[in-house]
Chains A and B, each alone.
Chain A
Amino acid sequence: MIYYLLRRLVGAAAVLFGVVTGTFVLSHVVPSCPACAVAGLRAGPAQVAAAAHSLGLDRPVWDQYVTYISGLIHGDFGVSYASRQPIGPAMITYLPATLELVFYSFIVYAVLGVGLGMVWAWRGNRPETWLIRVFSMLGTAMPVFWFAMVLQLWLGSRLGWFPITGRLEVDPPPTVTGFYTIDALVAGNLTAFTDAVWHLVLPVTALVMWLFAVAARLTQKSVSEEMQMPYVRTAIAKGASTRRIMLRHVFRNAINPVITMLGLQFGWLLGGTVLVEVVFSWPGIGTYMFNALQTFDFPAIMAVTVIITLGFVGVNLVVDLIYPLVDPRIRVN
């Protein structure tokens, strides 16, 4: 058990090292002339050299690498080429918006995906599950940014049910967590709370619709395979209720692959949030990354890449640590 935990931790550390090295190579080695992007289109060789010097781009690569790594360890993401401001504080302003969006999307997605997947497995391919099947097929096949724009156009603009962009129209509540919904509740500001929830509806719908199918289909497959097992027949013969069989017997055995998948999907969610944030002008790190892309602001792009990947590796590590809790078989081996 301890060996299992240690192995996972060492593995995650090794992967993180690889990730950080990878982003360094992408931001410092691959671009032919990062200083040119900083100096601007009309800069002459002298200005480019000056820009390279002020950003430390003229030093040897290994030296830059050491500076980069030690900076990251101290939470220093470097200086943005575009704004010449440190990136760390900018991340702290933008991150809560993304986290709020991802958090609610993930919860809705996990509950809907796993729940409807179980219904699907339980009822089979009958007419009443038709809607689940159609939605799961369409959801996977739609480009998430397009669906977000369609929601924005038809539900937001044409029908006027939901706001089209942003997080809030009223004054934001005083910052406690950075989640407007929670901050508004803490401040007892119901207007801000409903407004924040209202702004979340469309982006969350887009993200959930996009991922929903994977959870539903995998849960359905896992649960219906488990339902074929002899122990289910025994439980039925002993007179256990359907509810008890599904929740106490089948679900606990079928949940393992679902948990792995939820962890992986979290990474997709972090990627997809960039596209959805851009559509809804959601002031998170996705929009920040999009703006950085327009100016080839490599340190900013890589900072977002590192943060999102850190989150992804972290979640997958947590998933690995949850396994032994939900499945005694892993605890023994």
Chain B
Amino acid sequence: MAAPALPQDRSRTARRSSVRVLTLVSRYWPALLVFAWLVVIVVPGVAAPQDPLALNLSNTLAPPSAQHLFGTDEAGRDLWARCVWGVRYSLGISVLIVAGAAVIGTIVGGLAGLLRGPIDALLMRTTDVFLAFPYLILAIAIASAVGPGLTTVVVALTAVWWPGYARMVRGQVLALKEQAFVEGARAAGTSTPMILYRHLLPHLLPQLSARVSMDVGYAVLALTGLSFLGLGAQPPTPELGAIIANARSHLLEAWWYTTLPGLFVLAAVLSSMVVSDWLESRNKSEFLR
């Protein structure tokens, strides 16, 4: 008796499941964005089959075409491929930098907040000195002293970025440590590092993750800036800032060389802002629940 209703039902469930997929996508699309960038970082070859280092001196500074989507550079290398591989360097290394800075900052800030006293004062005065420099200038000074190269830039930018995290985490820890569960853990004989790791870190993570994803974008800007000044990636490494620096000598003859690689940086930074906003709104809605 229920047989005639069956096809209708099936179409309804089909519609429902497609609606469900759509709601999932609309709710989690920033996560998809992260996934897409991760794919580009891990396997750039998927998005750019051409070799970013292959020279072709018979086809230098060619404008964008079907074969070379972004045209070619002064050595005839495919710019699209160089930009896609550039994402691996610029975005991938920025993720490393910010992750490193967040870990160092969390440890320093967490210990300063929990221990207080002279250690706190010393650590916070140190962060004061770091924060007294305009960050780009400090990064330039550190990078120039260590000598140019990608490792240098990682060192310089991590050094510039950790104090911000230390400040933020210390503030949160100061607020959290008065809570009963910290007192309880301490009464049970838990060591200070363990309190930080097991009891405080879960409370710090939501805000940390939003800040990290925002800072990845800023780190991309700083990293490409240092490379632009010649302190970061050295030729022929396809790093976005270094590519744009090379384009300076061909500014007037090849508009694509200057204009197009920057769009990749723009897209990467915009994505980091979108993801950060998304994480923040999720944090807020969790509080409301």
Q: Which residues of A contact B (CB under 8 A)?
A: 11, 14-16, 18-19, 22-23, 26-27, 30-31, 137-138, 140-147, 149-150, 152-154, 157-158, 267-268, 270-272, 274-275, 278-279, 289-290, 293-294, 296, 298, 301-302, 304-305, 308-309, 312-313
| Across-interface contacts of B228 in A (CB, < 8 A) | 143, 145, 275, 278
Q: Is B173 an interface residue (CB 8 A)?
A: no
What is the CB-to-nearest-CB distance from A225 to chain B, in angstroms, rounded to a whole number?
15
Other than the known A145-B244, A289-B140, what 19 A-B pairs have Cβ atoms closer than 8 Å? A14-B125, A14-B128, A18-B128, A26-B141, A137-B270, A140-B273, A141-B265, A141-B266, A143-B224, A143-B241, A143-B244, A157-B251, A157-B252, A267-B134, A271-B135, A275-B136, A294-B230, A305-B140, A309-B137
Q: Is B221 an interface residue (CB 8 A)?
A: yes
| Across-interface contacts of B261 in A (CB, < 8 A) | 146
* Tally of A-B Cβ pairs under 8 angstroms: 142
| Across-interface contacts of A18 in B (CB, < 8 A) | 125-126, 128-129, 132
Q: How far is the CA of A175 from the CA of B193 in the complex (A)?
A: 61
Write the chain A residue with the least CB distance to B217: A141
| Residue contact B225 to A153, C-beta cutoff 8 Å | no
List 7 tightest A-B contacts by C-beta distance, closest first. A271-B136, A18-B129, A146-B262, A267-B134, A141-B269, A271-B134, A30-B145
Q: How far is the CA of A301 from the CA of B129 in the complex (A)?
A: 18
| A19, A289, A290: the one within 8 Å of B133 (CB) | A19
Q: Can you list 22 A-B pairs with a CB-CB distance of less than 8 A?
A: A22-B133, A26-B141, A26-B144, A31-B147, A141-B266, A141-B273, A142-B262, A142-B266, A143-B224, A145-B244, A149-B262, A150-B258, A150-B262, A153-B252, A153-B259, A268-B134, A268-B135, A275-B228, A293-B229, A305-B138, A308-B134, A309-B134
| Residue contact A305 to B137, C-beta cutoff 8 Å | yes
Q: Is B195 an interface residue (CB 8 A)?
A: no
| Residue contact B137 to A138, C-beta cutoff 8 Å | no
| Across-interface contacts of B224 in A (CB, < 8 A) | 143, 145-146
| Across-interface contacts of A313 in B (CB, < 8 A) | 132
Write the chain A residue with the least CB distance to B225: A275
Given A26-B142, A146-B244, A301-B144, check contact A272 B129 (CB 8 Å). Answer: no
Write the chain B residue with the least CB distance to A311: B134
What is the CB-to-nearest-CB distance from B233 to chain A, in angstroms, rounded to a whole number?
14
Q: How far is the CA of A144 from the CA of B230 in the complex (A)?
A: 16
Q: How far is the CA of A143 from the CA of B241 in the complex (A)?
A: 9
| Residue contact B129 to A15, C-beta cutoff 8 Å | yes
Q: How far is the CA of A131 from the CA of B147 in the complex (A)?
A: 43
| Across-interface contacts of A308 in B (CB, < 8 A) | 134, 137
| Across-interface contacts of A275 in B (CB, < 8 A) | 136, 225, 228-229
| Residue contact A272 to B136, C-beta cutoff 8 Å | yes
| Residue contact B273 to A19, C-beta cutoff 8 Å | no
Write the chain A residue with the least CB distance to B143: A293
Q: How far is the CA of A153 from the CA of B256 in the complex (A)?
A: 10
What is the CB-to-nearest-CB distance from A150 to chain B, in angstroms, rounded to a whole number?
6
Q: Is B248 an interface residue (CB 8 A)?
A: yes
Given A15-B129, A140-B273, check contact A149 B231 (CB 8 Å). Answer: no
Q: How far is the CA of A26 from the CA of B266 in the complex (A)?
A: 32
What is the CB-to-nearest-CB distance from B184 to chain A, in angstroms, rounded to a whole number?
35
| Residue contact A293 to B231, C-beta cutoff 8 Å | yes
| Across-interface contacts of B181 in A (CB, < 8 A) | none
| Across-interface contacts of B225 in A (CB, < 8 A) | 143-145, 275
| B147, B229, B266: the one within 8 Å of A138 (CB) | B266
| Across-interface contacts of B258 in A (CB, < 8 A) | 146, 149-150, 153
What is the CB-to-nearest-CB distance from B230 to chain A, in angstroms, rounded to a whole number?
6
What is the CB-to-nearest-CB distance from B251 to chain A, in angstroms, rounded to a whole number?
6
Interface residues of B in 238-289 (CB under 8 A from A): 241, 244, 247-248, 251-252, 255, 258-259, 261-262, 265-266, 269-270, 273
Q: Is B146 an interface residue (CB 8 A)?
A: yes
Given A18-B132, A26-B141, A274-B137, check contact A143 B146 (CB 8 Å). Answer: no
What is the CB-to-nearest-CB distance from A214 to chain B, in angstroms, rounded to a whole number?
11
Interface residues of B in 120-159 (CB under 8 A from A): 125-126, 128-129, 132-138, 140-142, 144-147
Q: How far is the CA of A278 from the CA of B134 in the complex (A)?
A: 18
| Across-interface contacts of A137 in B (CB, < 8 A) | 270, 273
| Residue contact A301 to B251, C-beta cutoff 8 Å | no
What is the CB-to-nearest-CB distance from A182 to chain B, in angstroms, rounded to a whole number?
25
Q: How far is the CA of A298 from the CA of B146 in the complex (A)?
A: 11
What is the CB-to-nearest-CB distance from B74 to chain A, in angstroms, rounded to a whole number?
16
Given A149-B248, A293-B230, A312-B134, check contact A19 B129 (CB 8 Å). Answer: yes
| Across-interface contacts of A294 in B (CB, < 8 A) | 230
Given A143-B241, A312-B134, check contact A23 B141 (CB 8 Å). Answer: yes
| Across-interface contacts of A296 in B (CB, < 8 A) | 144, 147
What is the CB-to-nearest-CB distance from B106 to chain A, in angstroms, rounded to a whole number?
23
Q: How far is the CA of A143 from the CA of B128 in the complex (A)?
A: 27
| Across-interface contacts of A157 in B (CB, < 8 A) | 251-252
| Across-interface contacts of A146 in B (CB, < 8 A) | 224, 244, 258, 261-262, 265
| Across-interface contacts of B133 in A (CB, < 8 A) | 19, 22, 267, 305, 309, 312
